[in-house]
Amino acid sequence: MSPKDAADVVIVGVAARGLAAAARRAGLRALVLDLFGDDDTRELALAAIPLRRIGAFAIDPADLYEQLAIHAGPDIPVVLGTGFEHQPEVVERLAARFRLVGNGPPTLAWTKEPLMLARLLHNLGIPHPQVFADHAPAGMRTLEKRIGGSGGWHVKPASESRGWGWYLQEELQGRTVSALFLGNGHKARLLAFSEQWCEPSEDAPYRYGGAAGPIRLDPSIEASIASALDAVVNAAGIVGLASADLMLTGDGWSLIEINPRPGASLDVFDHEPLPPLLRLHFEACRGELPDLALLTPEAAGMVRGAGVFYAPFSFEMRLDPLPDWVADRPPQGTRIETGEPICTLFAAGRDVREVRDTLARRRDQLWRDLSMASRKAAE
């Protein structure tokens, strides 16, 4: 039997290892199509199909259509990860040909088109930063962002945008958190909160660094956010696993962004005591929401964290084996350029500070080992 015939789900994304792991935990056999083909992705999948990239981290739509036509049948469910928020036309074409389990173009338009989202949030009375198509008011600190961008690579301070495909968002100061939730098109089920942080570089000061959770917020804020997510899900028709990026400010909170698909928090939360999150995703897309309480550190027994390790310098992967707290493992001999992600690091602890300290130590240890292995290979 071929992998195509044996697969329960097809997973597509820029980097799909997290979703592949979620499929394994849910007892699903996955075909995976992504840009990286990391070693652990191939181990988790029935088969891992490499996709052609455009630029740094974009999927070539023509290659995607061709590979799906070869490797995926019309009856196998397809789950999309990162890489499609700014390409609703691609999602529309996929939904027309395949059994897409997740949000379609109308929901993407409401949640990922900044001016539409801002108008929606305003009408719903949900706090959010102001956004502008081209110029910001004098004296207002703003960030330039790419429409549909992810990972923070594209975010920089600016007072005017560079034109089509970009926008300005009011810069807020505070604590960055994320809310993991399920939607059934009408209501939301808030599952957990995590804290996020940046790993800045010279040309990407807001580059995504990692997340850790579960964390608790003030109960009144938690209740307010849960109510807001109910309203957004109902208005935008969000289904399945999704997340909301939030800023906790001195006088409350603001909703920064909605990510209407499974994301990086799978690494943090797809563990006991929560049920398999990909199963919950399928159920929510059918209209079913679980009766689950908000996850707490006490219920989880620990705080888990996942951080992205970016290459300080260009090198070739020569270290084998990698520690068991490393995921997204590049194949041996892979050339990784300065600033590109090498892998994901995991850690656990009593709180976010302890998790981040452990991640920092592991990053330093791994870079020493990688550097030594590269030098030995060059001798």
**Does the pLDDT at position 290 exceed 50?**
yes
Average pLDDT rounded to a whole number, residues 124-148: 90
Region 131-155: mean pLDDT is 85
What is the rounded average pLDDT of the residues 277-290?
98
Q: Does pLDDT of 153 surpass 80?
A: no
Q: How many CB atoms lie within 10 A of CB 351?
A: 13
With left for phi above 0 and alpha for psi between -120 and 50, is residue 124 left, alpha or beta?
Answer: alpha
* CA distances from residue 375 to 82, 99, 124 in whole angstroms, order as listed: 34, 48, 58
Give the pLDDT mean for 310-316: 93
Nearest to 28 by CA among 248, 288, 281: 281
* Pick from 100-104, 163-167, 365-369: least confident: 163-167
265 and 180 Cβ atoms separated by less than 8 Å: yes
The predicted pLDDT at position 369 comes to: 94
Q: How far apart are CA 89 and CA 80, in angstroms?
A: 14
Q: Could you tell me if 205 and 155 are in contact, meaning their C-beta atoms sit under 8 angstroms apart? A: yes
Mean pLDDT of the 241-248 span: 97
CA-nearest of 195, 210, 215, 213 to 362 is 210
pLDDT tens digit string along 202-217?
888 999 999 999 999 9
Cβ 172 vs Cβ 133: under 8 Å: no
HEC string for the chain: CCHHHHCCEEEECCCCHHHHHHHHHCCCCEEEEECCCCHHHHHHCCEEEECCEECCCEECHHHHHHHHHHHCCCCCEEEECCCCCCCHHHHHHHHHHCEECCCCHHHHHHHHCHHHHHHHHHHHCCCCCCEECCECCCCCCEEEEECCCCCCCCCEECCECCCCCEEEEECCCCEEEEEEEEEECCCEEEEEEEEEEECCECCECCCEEEEEEEECCCHHHHHHHHHHHHHHHHHHCCEEEEEEEEEEECCEEEEEEEECCCCCCHHHHCCCCCCCHHHHHHHHHCCCCCCCCCCCHHHHCCEEEEEEEECCCCEECCCCCCCCCEECCCCCCCEECCCCEEEEEEEEECCHHHHHHHHHHHHHHHHHHHHHHHHHHHC
Summarize pLDDT for 20-43 with one digit per residue, the tens: 999 999 999 999 999 999 999 999
Query: How confident is the model at residue 1, as a pLDDT?
Result: 45
Per-chain mean pLDDT for the chain: 93
In the chain, what percentage of residues exceed pLDDT 90?
78
Q: For residue 33, give the nearest of 2, 63, 76 by alpha carbon.
A: 63
Among the residue ranges 25-29, 35-39, 44-48, 135-139, the one predicted with the least confidence is 135-139
* CB neighbour burial string for 361-375, b if at least 16 within 10 angstroms, e if fewer: ebbeebbeebeebbe
| % of the chain exceeding 70 in pLDDT | 98
What pLDDT, on the 0 to 100 scale, is given for residue 121? Answer: 97
Q: How far apart are CA 161 and CA 218, in angstroms?
A: 36
Q: State how far the alpha carbon of 239 is from the alpha carbons of 184, 259, 268, 286, 363, in Å.
A: 5, 11, 21, 8, 36
Q: Which residues contact 50 (CB under 8 A, 6 or more apart)?
A: 33, 34, 35, 37
pLDDT band at 4 (very low <50, low <70, confident <90, very high): low
Nearest alpha carbon to residue 342 among 299, 378, 371, 305: 371
**At residue 145, does pLDDT exceed 70?**
yes
φ, ψ for residue 284, nearest 5 deg: -65, -35
